[in-house]
Chains A and B, each alone.
Chain A
Amino acid sequence: MNLLDGYGMDTITMAGTLEAKLAAMKGAGFSQVMLMARDLVTHPGGVKSAVEAVRQSGMRPTGFQVLRDFEGLSGHLHSYKLDIAKSMLEMCAATGSKVLLACSSTSRHATQDLDQIAADLKKLAMLAVPLGIKVAYEALSWGRTVNEFPASWDVVCRADCPNLGIGLDSFHIFAAKTSLDAIEELDPSKIFLVQLSDFMWQETPTFEERMTTARTFRVFPGEGVHSEQLADLVLRLDRIGYRGDYSFEVFNDDYQQLPLDTVAERARKSATWLHQDVLHKSAPLPEWTRQRA
């Protein structure tokens, strides 16, 4: 039992090789990692070597990201995306990840019919069943049709499929200024992933600003100007009974040029803040207290 067990970093936060990232995370005390498809395909030894590196590290994959612009397409675009989805699912399964993150579509070629969107996501979830994977559908704050979590929850309810749930990302919730009251409407067992990050701007009114900030200037929870809201979000999730993982989805150009251990240490501080100061969970007792006489 480790204080950081429920928290994990995303590989996207740091520069360097997959092995170096995993070592830095482990060194800071983390036991899980959110993997990105790029980690596998850009590995010098190929996908197999990357999978082996994850296995060797002993880190549990929080999930696998990210399938983009999947839903709402028709004809050849749908067939094309289906192939992409299958490859993503296969890589996800290869790493032992139980959750595939699918982000809401930004495509102008996609339908805005919520029932069709739900049907496509159900198809994705069915593809995931034999592989033992759950699909977490996340509302991107610049998604064309679905851009707030109440909408992604609506779609997930329409699809009514046990292995299709939602993924929450604090950045998108704050960027879109979505009311946190809607958290009460969620079924905690259908929240398959919670990604946390903070950022430095108070306002991100346009989709363009949201995209730029999301991709270059997120910070760890507690480091930005939305810490109070973030604490509120986490407390509300805890109150409705969410006991799943929290993963730090921090895209930051500065962190990409810092030593990996330095970044991982910031993540550790952030997790400790969430665990002790926000959630008021006790630190685990030292190991010797659990040893039998």
Chain B
Amino acid sequence: MTLTKVNREAVPEMPNRLGIAGIEFIEYATSRPQALGQVLENMGFRPVARHRSREVTLYRQGTMNLVVNANPDDARVSGTVDGQPVISAVAFRVQDALKAHNRCMELGAWSVGSHAQAMELHIPAIHGPGGSRFYFVDRWQEFSIYDIDFKPIPTVDPNPPALAGMSYFGVVQYIGAARSADWQTYFEHMFDFTSIPDEERFGILPKGKLMKSPCGTFLWQLVEPDVWMEGDDSPECLQRIGFGVPDVAEAVIALKARGVEFVESTRLHPEDRGALTRAALGSVAFELVHK
């Protein structure tokens, strides 16, 4: 008699058909790049390179790349009101950018035209919520995409260390009322994100629906307006970035010393699981989450 043995603890593998492997960069669009640059520098970012043909600056700290796009067309398309910066794009690292783009097109994504100039990289993109875009980048291992489109700023350390060990943890997306299921299905279908049960929460604002990238390196949070905000029909948008830190309290002290202000409220418990910065320039807030 043979005994059949089944692996009782086999975990089904999460599909990752785009080969998503993290966030390559996040882009803000703004008509006030200097003011936003100051906010970012307070948060520990350093300007390291400038775009060859457009008014775009690359900021960096640790593993995080952040692009500030002040190109007049992009700043306008992104609907910047009163110069309030908006998160205009998130670039995902993928196995093969063209394949990823084609697959998304096959599944019902809207393509975004490129305006790359001669010898510049054409980064395929699809439309995201509001005026935002999702880019697909595959050349993040062999060489840096920034070497092609950007010129390094002289005398600046191209790889400044991360302040308080910060790294990208997630993105918060504001969505319309009763739209969670639509967007959850969208992210599951397009990017193989998976929904995290409502009981499992990170950070200090445990609202909305939480999703996880198939590579497991970042989270995506969908926040609907509250019931009492019935009249809130503001457009959907990528609202803020979350940074993961090994020690929230330490990070708060370090950032406060640089002039960053935090939201203090009895409803929040900063320096515990996370903290939220006060919105600068009307719209730019960051969340710290214990990693």
Contacts and interface: CB of A to CB of B under 8 A. Distances in A.
Interface in B171-199: 176, 179, 181-186, 189-190
Nearest to B130: A130
Nearest to B176: A132
Given A132-B236, A161-B185, A163-B182, A127 B176 contact: no
Nearest to A96: B233
A123 B179 contact: no
Interface in A195-254: none
Interface stretch (B4-12, B29-37, B107-115, B151-159): B107-115
Nearest to B132: A130
B111 to A, nearest CB: 10
Contact of A127 (B108, B179, B181, B185): B108
A129 interface: yes
B107 A130 contact: no
Interface residues of B, number: 19
Contacts of A129: 182-183, 185-186
Contacts of A127: 108-110
B207 to A, nearest CB: 20
Given A86-B110, A132-B236, A126 B186 contact: yes
A79 to B, nearest CB: 10
A162 interface: yes
Interface in B227-259: 236
Nearest to B128: A130
A125 B108 contact: yes
Interface string A161-180: 11100000000000000000
B182 A124 contact: no
Contacts, number: 38
B127 interface: yes
Nearest to B109: A126
Given A129-B183, A129-B186, A123 B108 contact: yes
B129 interface: yes
A162 B185 contact: yes
Nearest to A160: B185
A130 B129 CA distance: 5
Size category, A interface: 10 to 19
Contacts of B108: 122-127
Nearest to A89: B110
Given A126-B189, A126-B190, A132 B107 contact: no
Nearest to B181: A162
A130 B127 contact: yes
A35 to B, nearest CB: 19
A130 B176 contact: no
Contacts of A132: 176, 179, 236
Nearest to A86: B110
Contacts of B184: 162
Nearest to B111: A86
A162 B182 contact: yes
Nearest to B108: A126
A125 B110 CA distance: 12
B46 to A, nearest CB: 33
Interface in A101-148: 122-127, 129-130, 132
Contacts of A124: 108
Nearest to A126: B108
Interface in B22-81: none
Contacts of A125: 108
A129 B179 CA distance: 9
A125 B129 CA distance: 15
A162 B189 CA distance: 12
Contacts of A130: 110, 127-129, 186, 236
Interface string B112-143: 00000000000000011100000000000000
Contacts of B110: 86, 127, 130
A259 to B, nearest CB: 36
13 contacts: A122-B108, A123-B107, A126-B108, A126-B189, A127-B108, A127-B109, A129-B186, A130-B127, A130-B128, A130-B186, A132-B179, A162-B185, A163-B181
Interface of A: 86, 122-127, 129-130, 132, 161-163
Give 4 closest A-B pairs by Cβ, nearest first. Answer: A126-B108, A162-B181, A123-B108, A127-B108
